[in-house]
Every structure is written in structure tokens, then in C-alpha cells.
Structure 1
Amino acid sequence: MIETLELSNFKKFKKEAIVLKPEGLSLLAGGNNSGKSTLLQSLAVWDFCLTVLRNEKGEESLTPAHSGQGVGLSDDEFSPIQIPSLAHLWTNLTNQVKGADGYTLSIKPTWKNLDGDEKYLQISLALANDRLFIKQTSSNLELGERTPHIAFVPPFAGITAKEQRMSIAQRRSLTGSGLVGGTIRNLLFELERENQSKRNALKNAKGRIKTSDLRKLRESDPWEILQSAMGRYFQSSLSVSPFNDLYHSYIRVSLVKGEWDKTRIKKFAKFKPRDLMAEGSGFLQWLSVFALALDPETDVLLLDEPDAHLHSSLQTLLLSELESVAQTHDKQVLLATHSTEILRWAEHSKILMFKGSKVRYLGDEASRVGLFAGLGSEFSPRLDRLKKSKALLLVENESDAKFIKKMAEKSGTPIQDNVVIWAWTGSSKERKQLFLQLKGDIPDLKAVSIRDRDNLEQKNVDEETLRDKSETNNDANLRLRVWQRRHIENYLLCPDAIARAAKVDASEVRDFLANEHGIAVPPNFTDQGIHQAIKDAHGKTLIETGPNSIEKKYSISKFDIASELRPEEVCDDVKVVIGDILSM
């Protein structure tokens, strides 16, 4: 994974050293022409040059011992990024550079190998007579040492109409050349074949796989994860046709539509599978990005505005899935975006801000305000709306706001659309600082902040108003609130509503909660003074994230439960927060 990136004379960066987080998801944010795409492109060009040197000069050309001539390319052989002319790679290209050999552009990433040793490879470029020359100019690599495998997905990337079968080496070469759209079917073929191999190895003498082994496979195998995401988000699955070199010319991958049934798609009776090319650009963009993230050959995934073709709801879903894959499969994902939906969703520490000549990760939540302002009104509609409505609701994520709005409708007191939702994690103290910064530009601003109690002691939450007593607040226009119950999901532990959503008897739900989780829901479920055991329950785990959650048991989501709540089943705490919001 890349830890630092040193650039000299590459496009807008004349001399820059950029520190990157080597694992997980990083979001590159800033105004137009701030350098987001340039950073991604520099790594794509480096990977392309690395591929060329390996193919033309061999592994020795990457080591310090090599001092030979560079490799020359014509402009039509340069494929990693689209530029009008090779001269556009340089910050300010001049024909004569006194005291230099012409290799005036350099890209030097640094990473750690499996032993934790720091490694680097600087590749430099020169341009003469419309030919590009590439060579290694600084390295501490040993012969045959592994380098990071990078995949770059530019804006509006699609997939080719047909793909011949390729070896992993051929696929890696195309990916290194910036032609990932021509490798997606091959990648899907490899993922599916590896999955079948794993399944065959797990089968017993009767041809069955133990339930525990199957569960582990579904949680860890890239093909299983991809198919699960396809089923949950698109109600579809992928079907890879068998391939035989003797009589097949191209790999065929079809899409199957149906109903998601916990672990697989039940195909619609009259649906005819169709080739991937028949699908829309948004779907293909999502599939390409997610498949590449799951590719075992990919270490570093570079994404330039992958949200361009995606609906706002799919943007945050893609980000959530990418972050999960990055964490569980040891990937580094660098994603450039203008989307405020995405930037609102992410923790501030994941956002790499490009502003002026500075490139750095945000230090706190409050600095996100300046980032949004810097994106311009075209990309910060919420700030514009906030200046008009002067009413702000701070929640931890989009789903919390959706839940509160649903409860308001159930209670007969709907929340108006002009209340601006701002979702991000952070303490009440951090939210207060954000409110004060916003208030500097919007003097009449009013805000309600509501967050989970989590591990905050119960004594720090006022039982009637839900005021956060752990944070001093003297501004009457800011209401800092904390749910009395540990998680917002605790307010959905209503057996009758769960039973209606699952279409089972309420007694079954009560027995499940009691026997599997030790939770007995009392008749006064909606009261603020309910028993402490209900307040302290881990509602998020019980409802959706635990291995024996209600979601997994009954195949229903928390929103399914919320939709089934009746007005008299809406808890008093929730009504307090709704009242605070309506008072704005």
C-alpha cells in the first residue's frame, strides 16, 4: 500500500510530497482543478511505466543496479490516462533543461513490504521528438521483488463489448495500461472459478458443505460477497458461462433478475438472462468498481468520481461496501469525488483535502464545513438550503434521519422538507463547534443534534428532555440531545411491530428475544422510564449487525419494522426529538 507519493513536475504538482493512509478508504476532495484527479493519474502513469519497464527491460530495470537507457514510446502507445498531448504530463515543459538529462518529470511512491521494510521506486519521464522516454531513476528494490498492484478507473469508465480469455499476467498488463474496462469479464470468470474450487474442496462425501463452512465462505469469499451485494442492491445475480479454449472465443457473463432470498436470487419465472452490456452505465460503473475492489490481484484501487453515474442512494451504499472490503481484504482505495452525499457519509479522518498548495487529511469534523464551502455552490446544495431554511438536524447517518422522519409521519406530525439533514459522526462537543462555525455565516441558525448514547453514562442524559448533560451549551438555538437508549435501534425492539414485519406471531418474536438475547420487552415499552435493561441493550446488534440478529432471523430490515410501527408504539423519547425538530 502506498504511504507517501513524491511528485516532480507532474501536471499541476511542481514539487509535492503527499502522505497517504496505506490501508482502507481515503476520499479525495476539493474544488475543480485542485489536484484530486492529478494524484490518481500520477499513480496510474507510474503503474503503466512500471509495466512497460518490466515488459521491455525485465525485472532488473527496476533495481538500483540497472543504469541502462530508458524505454521509448510513441504517443499512441501511451494509454493509462487521456491527454491531448504527452506534453500535458509536465507542469511546465521546456525543451532545454540546463544540467539535466531531460528526465524532468518523476513519480516516486513509497510503501512497506511484508516484512515491514520501506520500499520505493522512482520512475522518471522525458519527452523528445514527440516520443516519451521512461526509466527508473531511484530504487531500493531487490530483483523480482513485489510491487503494489494498482487498478485505475477513470470517470465514465465502462466495459468492452467482448473479452477474450486472458491469463492473470495478461489481465494485469491491461490493468496497468489503464484498460480495466477490457478485463472485467475475465475478473468475474476468475472469481467465480475460484469460488467453485473452494466449494468443491468443502464438500463432504455426500456432496454437501457444512453450514458453518458455508457461512464462513459467504462472509469471506470475493465472489460470494459480490453476489450478495448484487442481490441486495440490484435484485440480480451474475451468471458466468462455462469456457473451453477449444470452441469458445469470448467470455460470456449474463445478468439474472429475481427476488433476493437471504443468500441467493430466486430468478423471475419469465426473465431471460441478458449480457452485461445491456445494463445501464450506473450499474456497470458500480459492478466494475466493486469487482475490482474484490480482485485479489488489486492492492491499490484508484477511483476518479465513480459516483458520476450513480443515484445518491447508491453512492453511499457503494462507499459503505468499499470501506468494508478495504478493511477485510487489506486494500487501499483512493476515491476522488465532488459528491456531498459521499463526503457527508465519511469520517473526517478519511477525507484528503486539496486546497491551494496543501494536500492533507482533515483534522476534525469542523473543518468539513470549510471543505464544503470550498467545493462551491454547485456541490454544496445543503449549505445553500441552510442559509434559506436556517433549520439544521444533525444525525449520525442518513438512516437515522430516515427513521426519525418515519416516526414523525407515524405520529401525525411530519417533518418539513426544508429542515436540512447533516449526517456525520462526532461528539456533542464537536457538533457544537460545527454549529458555531455555521452560525458565523447564518446568524439565525437553529439546530437539533441527536446521537446514540453508546457508552455515555445514563446520568449524563436528562430523562425528560434528552439533553446531553456532559457538554456545556449556553446557546438556546442549539439543542444537544442523546438517545436515552443505547442505540436508535433500541426504539424498534417492539415485538408486535417486528412480528407484523416478519409475518409471524408476536409470541414467537418475544420467545426469540428472550431465549436468544435475554431480552424481555415490558408492556411500557414506549415510556421514558422503561427498565434500564432495555435502555442498555445493544439495539444495533440485536436488530441488524449481530450473527443472530432479527434481520438475519426474519429477513427484514429496521425500516421494515419502522414501517409497521403504529402511532401508539412510537416511543416518548422519539416524540421529544420530533418536537425539538418541529420547534425550529
Structure 2
Amino acid sequence: MKISKIRIRSFKNIEDVTLDLDDMNLLVGGNNAGKSSFIQGIHFTISALRSAKMHGKSANMPASTLGVNQFTFLPTQEIMEINHWFPMTQDYGPKFDFEYFDEDGDLQDFRLSLYRGKNANVSLNFPKGSPFFRAASDVRAPFSVYVPGLAGIPLAEERRANSIVQTGIAQGDANLFLRNVLHRLEKEPLQMQALRTLMRNIFPNFAVETKFDENVNQFISSKVRLGGTWTPLEMAGTGCLQALQLAAYVILYEPKLLLLDEPDAHLHPGNQKLLVELLFSLSETAGTQIILASHSRHVFDSIKNNPLGSVYWLSDGSLVEDLDADVGLLLELGALDRFEELRNDEPKVLVFAEDEKTKKLEILLQSNGWDMEKCKFVSFNGVDNLEATKIVVEYFLSMNEESKVFIYRDGDGMTPDERIWALKRYENVLPDRCKMFISTLTDIEHFFCGPDHVAEICEIDEDEAFAIVEGVIDENQAKLSSKMTRKREDLKFKILRNFQGRANIDNIIGDRVSFHYSLGKILLPQIEGRLRELGHNFRSLVAPSAALRVQEIEDFEMPD
């Protein structure tokens, strides 16, 4: 049985989404876009059918109503709340449609509809004689395996009966029974050999060994070998454990659907690509269709570029019909969530910054007369990639013809000539309604270290503030010099590599690092500490002041 199409309506975050299924199916989108809801909806359907059979009067008379405690898997205990817009009623609830090819190759369809039943039960409406129902409700063979998030494993496992293991899988707790699954595979030489072969495609020297003697042992013992030594299963690396879980469950049970919610979380990019290779191999070997959600650019590229894979972009519970936007780039830059938040928003100034914490930048802009109600901050890590920045900025500006973009970049010790050259380079590429600002100081913290700002915040004489700041600089010369040297090396390769007039680090630092080339991240806490030692009463130097005025920022025109 191969599923050709799944449609889910009115379930959690999902309003109405239809996917034409490939062998491998990737769901991308921002937070709360509906990715996890779609995956949970599929597994919830399968578990509901399984539960209906388990609690029916006979295999041919499945239950038509279920209580909350009779479902083997629930996305929430408040089951009436799983309807999209409002709690389920006796007339309206979620609907799950599956199109599939039966054993004769004929295209069939199946629908499960849920409603509120009597006494807070759930009413299930579905064709009880359907081949899909018979396959999905088979208690001996899990139709779907659901692995939510990064699934760690327990430190020990007792030997469990098949019914307990399969129920655990149905509940979404597959990771709790990995040793039990490996123990069963040990008794099936052909399946165990298939597991080793698949794993060795990723880990060439992989081996696994599982032992249990019911007359001696309380817990199952499993060890893996990736190199020359054997390691207890729980001490294997995250990448190995994640791959082993997926491979073991698919090979043992050969589920029709493998449902994965961010299986790449916390994996190294190299392991993310290897994980996708394993998933394609599993799909080919077992005939399992895979649906996964991910925020990874590496997973996106690996699936998008494979003819057996499809990518679907979900946003606000609906399917984005085209992928004209460079979703992979947005994923890499961490901007997809913000991109979706701002779709169809009122005119805003979209402030792009490299740092996720934007409080200091907000105070700087506010001190220059900006209306913060009109600002939205977008944190992403690719501002030095000019082409990538151009693409992302154009996407944001396309959402509203009156919006503007302001890009903040730390100066990192650029000389005035270098800064002018870099600004022109950006301005020649970036679209209209976009302002690039490169700080004349080293970083955002540097603004709050100026003697005039310190004097205003602490209500002291500017000469005294100057002496305090210079004293801190003198005491931190070695650290400041080392950090600035690294910053200059980064600038050389990231942004100034084609600038012929690039200054030499020795000419910048000389015998003493000056205030202009001192890193604010180092200075700010040291200056605040010195001020408190001298008895000055202030809350924080990170506060608005007239000294934070910058003409380029002040002249930026906000949208009406």
C-alpha cells in the first residue's frame, strides 16, 4: 500500500493542507506554521483507527466512539481542543483524508471524521470495511512510526512484551524501546544484516551487539562499535543513536509511514546530510514513505536535489503553493520565522541585525528619535554575504511596498576609508528602501562607552568620565590588541578582501589601542565596574542619552 495524497482539515494549527506524497517529503516553515501539527495529524489518524479496533466488539465491528483514555496517542489531553478554530462540536471536527493504491494497484480513498460524542467522548466516522482501516489498525505491525524531536534513549531497558513495545511506538515513545527492538533484530539474521549494511553507509566500522538472558539479566545489554572499541549504547554519539533508532524501527516493522519531527536537531551539518542519505536508503529498502519537518538548510538541499524527494512550505496552517522564495537561504540565515511573521503586515521598518538580543540596538535607535512601534527586528547571520543579504532584503520588501529596511553592522575596527568603501559596495547592490549602516565604532556596546555618554548617565564631569574610560583602556591593552587583531583578520576575508587600501593592523594599533579601536564588549563591563568602585550611582550604561545621537541614523525616514 502506497499513499499518494494526504489532506488534513481543521486540526490544531492546520486549516486545510493537502500534500501529494513522494518517497521523501520535507515540511519547512517558521514556528507555529503547522509542520508538527500535520505530522501529528497523520499519526493521530493511525492511532485512532488502531484504538477503534482494540476497543471494538470484534475485528469487524470497531468502536465508533472513544473516550480520551482509549486513544493510544493524543497530541493533547484536551482532545476537544484539537479542532482548528473552536472546540469540536457534534456537527464539526477535524477530517483526515488519505488517497492510496491498494494491493491491486487501484487508487482508493479513505476519510476519518471526528466529532464530539456524548459524555465528552469522541465520535469516529470512517468506512469500517476499508483496506486502509485493516492495514492501519493492525496491532501486530505499526503502520506509522512517529519520532518527535531529538529522541534520546533511557539508560536501561527491561525486556518488554511485543504488545507493550508496539503500544509505545503508537504513543510516540519509540525511543524508549530501542534495546528491545535491537534484541528482536538479533533473532532475525537477515534483518540484522540489513541494519548493519545501512548503518555502515554512514559509519563504515559500525557494529552492534545486544544480549539478554531471561534467567540471568534484568536489563537488556546493547553495545555499539564505531571504531576499535565497544561502547554502551547510551554512550554512543547523538548522530549514531539517531540514525540507529530510525534504521532499527524501519527494518524491524517496515512501517508504511515514518514521521519525524526535526530529527536533525543538534546534529552536525555533516551528520544531517548523512541522516538524509540513510532515510532515502530506508525508503528504498523497506518501501517506507517518510515525512519530516526540519529547519536545516542541509536537510533542505539534500531532499530538494533528490528526484525522489519533495519539499512543502507551510505557513500559518496552510500550504504555500510556490517556492519562488529561496527557502533554503532563509533557513540558513535563520530568517524564515521572521519572514512569515511579517507577511501582509502593516508598513514597518525591518531592522536587520546579526545579534539575536537587540536591546542595545533598540536603545540606540530610540535615542535617535525612532518610533519603536514601527520597528520589527530580524536577526540573521549572513549580513557579510552581499548576495544573500540582497535576496533576503528583497523578499522582505516585497511583502509591503511602503516598508523599509535598515541593516546594522558592527564596524569591527574599520578605518573611515574602509567604511566608505564598504558602504558604497552595499549601496550599489541593495534595493531602494534599504539603508545600510556600518557603525563608526567597533560594536553596539561601544556606543555606551563614550565619555560623553558616561558623563550624562552618571551625572559626572566629562573630563572625569574621559579619565575613567582611558584608564580602563590602559588596563586592558593586551586583550584589546588581541581581539582587534582577530577582528581585522575577519574583516580582511569577509568584507575588505577586494579593497586595495586596506590598513595594516600595526598602523591601526601602534603602541597603544585607542578608544576608536577598542572593542565595546570588553570595555563596557569594565567601565561599569570601575564607576561602581568609585561610588557612582547609576543603574546601567545601556540607557538612552543625547550622546548616542548619530546623524546617519537620525536622518533615516520612517514610513508613515
2:145 equivalent to 1:151? yes
Cα gap change, 1:96 to 1:354, in 2 (>3 Å): closer
User: Following superposition of structure 1 onto structure 2, how do residues 150-549 of structure 1 map, counting pairs within 5 Å?
Assistant: 150-166=144-160, 168=162, 170-195=164-189, 221-229=193-201, 231-232=203-204, 236-241=206-211, 243-258=212-227, 267-268=228-229, 273-279=230-236, 281=238, 283-347=240-304, 350-356=310-316, 358-359=318-319, 374-376=336-338, 384=380, 386-390=382-386
C-alpha contact 1:159 1:184 (8 A) present in aligned 2: yes
C-alpha contact 1:4 1:110 (8 A) present in aligned 2: yes
Which residue type is aligned with residue 147 of structure 2? V
Cα gap change, 1:305 to 1:280, in 2 (>3 Å): same
Structure 1 residue 41 displacement after superposition = 0.4
Which residue type is aligned with residue 47 of structure 1? I
Structure 1 residue 113 displacement after superposition = 1.9
Structure 1 residue 35 displacement after superposition = 0.6
Give secondary structure in 2 for the equivalent of 1:309: coil
Cα gap change, 1:27 to 1:383, in 2 (>3 Å): farther
Measure, in 1, the Cα distance between the counterparts of 2:283 and 2:107.
Answer: 21
RMSD: 4.2
Structure 1 residue 334 displacement after superposition = 0.7
Measure, in 2, the Cα distance between the counterparts of 1:185 and 1:332.
Answer: 24
Measure, in 2, the Cα distance between the counterparts of 1:440 and 1:346.
Answer: 31
1:38 paired residue number? 37
Work out which of the two has the higher radius of gyration on C-alpha atoms and give 1 or 2. 2
1:20 paired residue number? 20
- Higher mean alpha-carbon deviation, 374-383 vs 150-159, is at 374-383
Structure 1 residue 151 displacement after superposition = 0.4
Measure, in 2, the Cα distance between the counterparts of 1:45 and 1:155.
Answer: 16
Q: 2:113 aligns with which of 120, 124, 127?
A: 124
So what's the TM-score if we normalise by structure 2? 0.54
Deviations 1:323-344 (CA, angstroms, capped at 9, x unpaired):
2321343221111011123223
Structure 1 residue 283 displacement after superposition = 4.2
2:7 paired residue number? 6
Structure 1 gaps of 5+ residues are 63-67, 200-220, 259-266, 393-437, 445-581
Cα gap change, 1:140 to 1:95, in 2 (>3 Å): closer
C-alpha contact 2:72 2:170 (8 A) present in aligned 1: no
Count matched residues: 357
Give secondary structure in 2 for the equivalent of 1:5: strand
Measure, in 2, the Cα distance between the counterparts of 1:34 and 1:120.
Answer: 27
Deviations 1:522-559 (CA, angstroms, capped at 9, x unpaired):
xxxxxxxxxxxxxxxxxxxxxxxxxxxxxxxxxxxxxx
Which residue type is aligned with residue 238 of structure 1? V
Which residue type is aligned with residue 386 of structure 2? K
Cα gap change, 1:303 to 1:357, in 2 (>3 Å): closer
Which residue type is aligned with residue 314 of structure 2? F
Structure 2 gaps of 5+ residues are 137-141, 342-351, 355-377, 389-428, 436-496, 500-560
Identity among equivalent positions (%) equals: 22
Measure, in 1, the Cα distance between the counterparts of 2:74 and 2:328.
Answer: 30
Measure, in 2, the Cα distance between the counterparts of 1:59 and 1:42.
Answer: 24
Deviations 1:54-80 (CA, angstroms, capped at 9, x unpaired):
211143246xxxxx6412233xx6553
- Higher mean alpha-carbon deviation, 350-359 vs 38-47, is at 350-359
Which residue type is aligned with residue 91 of structure 1? H
Give secondary structure in 1 for the equivalent of 2:180: helix
1:111 paired residue number? 100
Measure, in 1, the Cα distance between the counterparts of 2:301 and 2:217.
Answer: 47
- Higher mean alpha-carbon deviation, 29-38 vs 279-288, is at 279-288
Measure, in 2, the Cα distance between the counterparts of 1:165 and 1:139.
Answer: 35
Structure 1 residue 303 displacement after superposition = 0.4
Cα gap change, 1:142 to 1:324, in 2 (>3 Å): closer
Q: 2:66 aligns with which of 59, 67, 71?
A: 71
Which residue type is aligned with residue 315 of structure 2? K
- Higher mean alpha-carbon deviation, 339-348 vs 305-314, is at 339-348
